[in-house]
Amino acid sequence: MLNQAQLPGNFEFRALQVFVVTAEQGSMTQAAKVLGLTQSGVSQIIAGLEDAVGRQLFDRSIRPIVLTKVGQVLLRQSQKILGDLNSAFVEATESDRGELSSLSIAMPESLANVLGPRLYRRKGDIAKNWRISNGLMPDQRAKFNTHAADVMITEESNTSDMLDVERYNLFTEPYVLIFPKNFAPASELGPHLADHPFIRFSLRSSMGRQTEAQLNRLQLKFPSHIEFDSIVGHATAVSYGLGWGITTPLCLFQVPWAFDQLSIHPIVRGKFGRRMTLLARPQVLGTAPRILAEECRGILQEEVFPALHAHLPWLEGSFRIGDD
């Protein structure tokens, strides 16, 4: 570990955050985008850390860049330091009635627009200032690991290597098939769909990776023509008759016009789903993570799922709340 004499006089804890994000993203350019910095700014901060340590933290001869052994040690220590620092600020700024000074929640687009405003409407008194961000999994995880996000909601399979976290299962939902309105319906994933363009979600998204994994299990190969990060763009492309896609009911809930302009069907053969989980760091936010998880389940059960059932009655019984 570094001692005080090794730290440069202008050292800031921000440097550790930049280092952790760079390690998570595997790219200084991508880290700069996540942090709102320039690539040269990130490079200078990393160079300053390397000067302080006296060793290289990244092997730049490999793309994407990878951590050296010294970098791996510093990453573990940096994550712990940032966690302790965040905990200190939270404890120091809580009011007498237990209100948090701020609360930052990172979640995918498919949930941010649905749960975000409803959570604040129901439990806005948990914190004085809220920040709800949406993004793809690498960005969410970078925010959580660097303590830029206090809570993360993501697909459960993304968290298998995250051990020291509080974990609350929220819900499970099925994937569904979407077609243009005039497309002959299908209820199974099969080779016959290769006759029509498949509109994908990006592999940077959990949905894209889950979908591709399922297609591989079924030994299905569909040519790649176009892919989207955005749920709205994905559904719109299908509505234009450009091809078919795979999505989830919660995604469609964000684009209400989709229920009239798309042909939506369950996957009977080859069906699969996603399980969403809320994660927080232990003993940092008190009871807030449990309260947030309960409110998310309530919102879904009382407001969202009934509306989806009204549009698509065959969805009845397809959703599961919590650990049910």
Kindly report, residue by residue over 272-323, the tens digit of the pLDDT: 999 999 999 887 888 899 999 999 999 999 999 999 999 999 999 999 998 7
pLDDT digits (tens, 9 = 90+) for 45-88: 888 888 878 888 888 887 778 888 888 888 888 877 777 666 56
What strands lie across the sheet with 224-228, from one edge to the other? 224-228, 198-201, 244-247, 176-180, 262-266
Q: Is the pLDDT assigned to residue 238 strictly greater than 60?
A: yes
Amino acid 11: pLDDT: 56
> By C-alpha distance, which of 149, 141, 43, 41 is closest to 103?
149
pLDDT digits (tens, 9 = 90+) for 172-201: 999 999 999 988 766 778 888 888 899 999
Amino acid at site 307: A
Structure-model confidence comparison of residues 161 and 247, the more confident one: 247
Distance in angstroms (rounded) separating the CA atoms of residues 150 and 38: 25
Amino acid 3: pLDDT: 45
Distance in angstroms (rounded) separating the CA atoms of residues 79 and 16: 8
Amino acid 98: pLDDT: 57
Are 106 and 278 spatial neighbours (Cβ–Cβ below 8 Å)? no
What SS3 state is found at 65?
coil
Amino acid 144: pLDDT: 86
Beta strands 127-134 and 100-107, pairing class? parallel
Amino acid 92: pLDDT: 53
Amino acid 265: pLDDT: 93
Q: Compute, in degrees rounded to 10, the torsion defined by CA atoms 252, 305, 154, 35.
A: 60
Helix (H) or strand (E) holding 31: helix 28-35
pLDDT digits (tens, 9 = 90+) for 256-268: 999 999 999 999 8
Domains and CATH numbers, the chain: 4-85 (1.10.10.10), 94-173+274-321 (3.40.190.10), 176-271 (3.40.190.10)
pLDDT digits (tens, 9 = 90+) for 102-150: 999 999 988 999 999 999 999 999 999 999 988 887 788 888 888 889 9
Distance in angstroms (rounded) separating the CA atoms of residues 200 and 207: 9
> By C-alpha distance, which of 153, 169, 179 is closest to 252?
179
Structure-model confidence comparison of residues 53 and 203, the more confident one: 203
Q: Is the pLDDT assigned to residue 96 strictly greater than 50?
A: no
pLDDT digits (tens, 9 = 90+) for 1-50: 444 445 555 556 778 888 888 888 888 888 888 888 888 888 888 888 88
